[in-house]
Amino acid sequence: MAVPPQSAARVEVLRLPAGASERDELAVEEPLEIRIGGRPIAVTMRTPGHDEELALGFLRSEGVRAVTARPTADLAANAIEVEVDGVFDAGRLQRNFYTSSSCGVCGKGALEAVAVEAARVTSDLTVPSDLVSTLPARLRESQPTFAATGGLHATGLFEPDGTAVCVREDVGRHNALDKVVGFAVREGLLPLARKILCVSGRLSFELVQKAAVAGCPIMVAVGAPSTLAVELARDRGVTLCGFVRDGRVNVYSGPERIL
């Protein structure tokens, strides 16, 4: 699978202890400005590619009814114009810093904030644990830029039979998930009541928040969840599977969906 042209760049690197200088590939990181009505309302650092999806997914996760995204009228580099359905509050479009483990905001306040935008997921989807255990490997097969650089996160959207619907990579794990949600917006797939999300790293509160807003019933990760991520998943009815590797699955919430 070829590396997308904008996602990696070659740089000179000194390799020790051999002392040899070689060319190496690094993941690209650049800012993306998101505009509504020509007005800049957010900037996120991302790996270029699927920028329209990123803008749509980011805004949907923040409770804004973003419907379409396109290059800006002035064709500015690293900028996307988004059309929204109805009015929006620009003050709410800042990243929700209560998701940081060091912010000092209580878990109860965070859960209540998410509940405003995310209805409880009531999907009756069930999948075998054997299938769940294969998803990280299936995700890894669709990560060409990670294979070249070792520096990107990924999120995959899967059918209940394990078929990959969409895989996106990004230097930011939140951005990778936003790109997948944005893809779902463009394809008319929301809510994701019959789909599975798989992420390449750990499960933070904000990733579970995005899955809940998208209406996805099952979320799978290679790494560990945080306590608040598990609390949110249980509160919003999301099945959370962590440490999914080597045939093992730890189910932290919603075990009734895993057979």
Partner residues linked to 11 by β-bridges: 24
**Cβ atoms within 10 Å of 188's Cβ, excluding its own:** 6
Catalytic residues: 103
In whole angstroms, give the CA distance from residue 130 to residue 137: 12
pLDDT score, position 74:
84
DSSP H helices, the chain, are 51-61, 107-117, 129-132, 135-140, 144-149, 173-186, 205-213, 227-236
Residues 6+ apart with CB under 8 A from 186: 52, 53, 56
Specify whether the backbone of 19 is left (phi greater than 0), alpha (psi in -120 to 50) or beta.
left
pLDDT score, position 22:
86
pTM: 0.89
pLDDT score, position 149:
65
pLDDT score, position 114:
66
pLDDT score, position 133:
97
Q: Which tokens go with 134? A: 């294969």
Residue 46 backbone dihedrals phi, psi, to 5 degrees: -150, 170
In whole angstroms, give the CA distance from residue 192 to residue 184: 8
Q: 3-state DSSP: the chain helix, strand, coil percent, rounded to 5? A: 30, 30, 35
In whole angstroms, give the CA distance from residue 245 to residue 247: 5
pLDDT score, position 208:
94
pLDDT score, position 252:
98
CA angle 254, 257, 259 (to 5 degrees): 125
DSSP type of residue 3: P
Residues 6+ apart with CB under 8 A from 212: 114, 118, 121, 232, 233, 236, 238
Q: Hey, what amino acid is at 11?
A: V
Q: Hey, what amino acid is at 200?
A: S
pLDDT score, position 77:
84
Per-residue pLDDT of the chain (259 residues; tens, 9 = 90+): 777 778 777 888 888 888 788 887 888 889 999 999 898 888 889 999 999 999 999 999 888 889 999 999 888 889 999 999 887 776 655 544 333 333 444 455 566 666 657 789 999 999 999 999 999 999 988 777 666 666 688 999 999 999 999 999 998 899 999 999 999 999 999 999 999 999 998 999 989 999 999 999 999 999 999 999 999 999 999 999 999 988 899 999 999 999 9
pLDDT score, position 98:
35
pLDDT score, position 33:
92
Single out the residue of 257, 208, 210, 204 nearest to residue 235, CA to CA. Answer: 208
End-to-end CA gap in the chain:
33
